[in-house]
Structure 1
Amino acid sequence: MLGLLLLLQVLASCLWLGHGEVVTSFTSCPQFFYAGTTPNEVLNPKNPAWICQRYMNSYHYATLYDRDRRIPVYSAYKYKPGDATRPHSWWFVEPQLIGKSSLKEMEKESVLIEQQKFTLDQIKESQAVLDDYKDLKDLDRGHLSPSGHQDSSEGKMATFTLTNIVPQDSSLNNGQWNAYEFKTMNKKTKDCTSTYVVTGAVPGNTYVSEGRVNRPSHIWSAACCLGDTGPKDAWGAIAENDKNEVEVLSLGELEKRLTNLYGGMVTLFNNACPREQSSHPH
């Protein structure tokens, strides 16, 4: 009898939470956060969506999404750079953000409209669409979870969803941010058995696409590097989203900087990740 009650409770909670993987926490994909600890609630927007980014029946990273500003707050993943090919050039949207959708995986706009009979307006309501990024001047579709930090073709493909994208200064995206993502990260993670990353965007005061999509004021990233016995190093990076400069700093310094920018005390990782820079040289 107790078993039946529990089952009914679980079923009721599933119904109450609605469809798909956009729920009120990352319970389906805690593996992308060290020790299951997510960044604290200071980062949460007014109208959030917690997305376990699912493609080809697997989770590849996690994203906290801001439905009102139509940009991700952050994406979290395990750093596993690999040279698998990226076999497509299209972009996905997230059907789970559309009301009355039971689809659990990212999908192309055209497929949702032609096969699933959604309208473009229904898709646009709570997320960015391809048109929003069409004629941007000096701005790129900037990945928070970059394809180059994923080791499988599916993982790389899964980063090409507009829920993982912000309008990013083109010179920064192709310049110093790219150098941080590939050269600095490669150098700093040499002695790590695994590395957890959270990359985010501080909302700005300006919008693109007729006020639909926020242009972040800053892009930031934080990493916690594990050794054989747990975290042994951590660091951060931050850049203003209108110049080609990246500052690499300790995790503690980055959290302080974000505390000022978000207006509340920010913590990005489990307390075991060191806040001060490690003394050994990189």
Structure 2
Amino acid sequence: MPRFGSWLLAVCFFVSGGAFAGTTCPNFFIAGSAPTLDASLLSRTTEVCHTEYVLFASGVTKGPLYSAEHLTAAQIAGANSISRSGSWHQETGIPTADRSQSSDYTNSGYDRGHMTPAGDASTLTSEGETFSMANVVPQLHKLNAGEWEKIENYVRNIATQQGEVYVVTGPAFDPTTIPTIGKDNVAVPAYTWKAVYEPGVGAAAFLCTNADNYTCAVVSVDDVKTMSGVDPFPALSATMKSNPIGLTLP
């Protein structure tokens, strides 16, 4: 992993071995296999299956550990035909004690950063589901409205061109210090990542520092696993996970 030495040396803390969290909505995953997570991440977790995406929420971080989609060209065509009109709401699919709420972010200095974007939703109902507070993490505005938004658009373009992609998005936390916001103590990630698998081609991920002077890079699936404790695509071969395809930073 020489391309990101300083990033990875600081966050190689989730490598103690993975565990399957299981899934009740396998249609969002490659070969029906949900991401594997380090066992240390599985405390107080809940899977919530929505119409066009699934989220895996943590009552410890008060946000998603990942959010996943099987994104198709037809879905993007539908998304292009509707307007953005969702409103933030608590996630009723998880225990009350494990939820965050919109007010946690008010005057915090952080955006409510979508993991599965509203712009991927093909119907107004699905779009509304992406405004679940369990589908967002605290993300600095410069990143959220900058390179991150460009990455989201880039992935939609890949789905349109290729017909389909599998996407898993999530946070990674700095083990030395994890700041929180709001009365619910929502954990602020040091990084956000978006892993993409193009069937018949391969996989890679975008990884961004959650900072005003942010840096983004294209990394391997193995790099995401090392940094976040989440293997987004356990069904892929070791070779695919260690060799990123040529995604381009937009």
TM-score interval, smaller chain = 0.7 to 0.9
Q: 2:57 aligned with 1:65, yes or no? A: yes
- Change over 3 Å in CA distance of 1:163–1:145 after alignment to 2: same
Residues 39-58 of structure 1 correspond to what in structure 2 (within 5 A)?
A: 39-42=35-38, 44-53=41-50
CA displacement at 1:221 relative to structure 2: 0.7
More displaced, 212-221 or 184-193? 184-193
CA displacement at 1:134 relative to structure 2: 1.4
Please provide the CA RMSD for this pair.
2.6
Deviations 1:70-97 (A, max 9, x none): 0110100122322132463421222232
CA displacement at 1:144 relative to structure 2: 0.2
**Contact 2:62 2:184 survives alignment (8 Å):** no
CA displacement at 1:131 relative to structure 2: 1.5
**Contact 1:193 1:225 survives alignment (8 Å):** no
Q: Which residue of 197, 202, 209 corresponds with 1:240? A: 209
- Change over 3 Å in CA distance of 1:280–1:136 after alignment to 2: closer
What amino acid is aligned across from residue 192 of structure 1 in structure 2?
Q
**Contact 1:238 1:254 survives alignment (8 Å):** no
Q: Which residue of 251, 260, 267 corresponds with 2:231? A: 267
- Paired with 1:89 and 1:279, the residues of 2 have a C-alpha distance of 34
- Paired with 2:92 and 2:160, the residues of 1 have a C-alpha distance of 38
- Paired with 1:153 and 1:211, the residues of 2 have a C-alpha distance of 29
- Paired with 2:123 and 2:245, the residues of 1 have a C-alpha distance of 31
Q: 2:169 aligned with 1:199, yes or no? A: yes
Q: Which residue of 124, 127, 144 corresponds with 2:99? A: 127
- Change over 3 Å in CA distance of 1:159–1:45 after alignment to 2: same
Q: Which residue of 2 aligns with 1:165?
A: 136
TM-score scaled by length of structure 2: 0.77
Q: Which residue of 2 aligns with 1:220?
A: 193
Does the residue aligned with 1:93 lie in a helix, a strand or coil? coil
- Change over 3 Å in CA distance of 1:211–1:130 after alignment to 2: closer
What amino acid is aligned across from residue 30 of structure 2 in structure 1?
Y
**Contact 1:221 1:237 survives alignment (8 Å):** yes
CA displacement at 1:129 relative to structure 2: 1.1
**Contact 2:221 2:231 survives alignment (8 Å):** no
Residues 63-102 of structure 1 correspond to what in structure 2 (within 5 A)?
A: 63-79=55-71, 80-81=75-76, 82-86=79-83, 88-98=85-95
Residues 3-18 of structure 1 correspond to what in structure 2 (within 5 A)?
A: none
- Paired with 2:31 and 2:47, the residues of 1 have a C-alpha distance of 18
- Paired with 1:217 and 1:127, the residues of 2 have a C-alpha distance of 20
Q: Which residue of 2 aligns with 1:177?
A: 148
- Change over 3 Å in CA distance of 1:39–1:194 after alignment to 2: same
- Paired with 1:97 and 1:279, the residues of 2 have a C-alpha distance of 37
Does the residue aligned with 1:216 lie in a helix, a strand or coil? coil
Structure 1 gap ranges (5+): 1-23, 54-58, 99-122
**Contact 2:65 2:171 survives alignment (8 Å):** yes
CA displacement at 1:42 relative to structure 2: 1.5
- Paired with 1:186 and 1:65, the residues of 2 have a C-alpha distance of 24
CA displacement at 1:277 relative to structure 2: 3.7
What amino acid is aligned across from residue 171 of structure 2 in structure 1?
A
What amino acid is aligned across from residue 57 of structure 2 in structure 1?
Y
CA displacement at 1:145 relative to structure 2: 0.2
Q: Which residue of 2 aligns with 1:4?
A: none
- Change over 3 Å in CA distance of 1:189–1:196 after alignment to 2: same
**Contact 1:166 1:215 survives alignment (8 Å):** yes
**Contact 1:77 1:145 survives alignment (8 Å):** yes
TM-score scaled by length of structure 1: 0.69
Deviations 1:7-66 (A, max 9, x none): xxxxxxxxxxxxxxxxx7422x1111111111112173321111112xxxxx22111100
Residues 143-154 of structure 1 correspond to what in structure 2 (within 5 A)?
A: 143-154=114-125
Deviations 1:91-124 (A, max 9, x none): 12222323xxxxxxxxxxxxxxxxxxxxxxxx4x
Return the structure number with greater relative CO, CA threshold 8 A, min gap 6.
Answer: 2
More displaced, 160-169 or 72-81? 72-81
CA displacement at 1:274 relative to structure 2: 2.9
**Contact 1:86 1:157 survives alignment (8 Å):** no
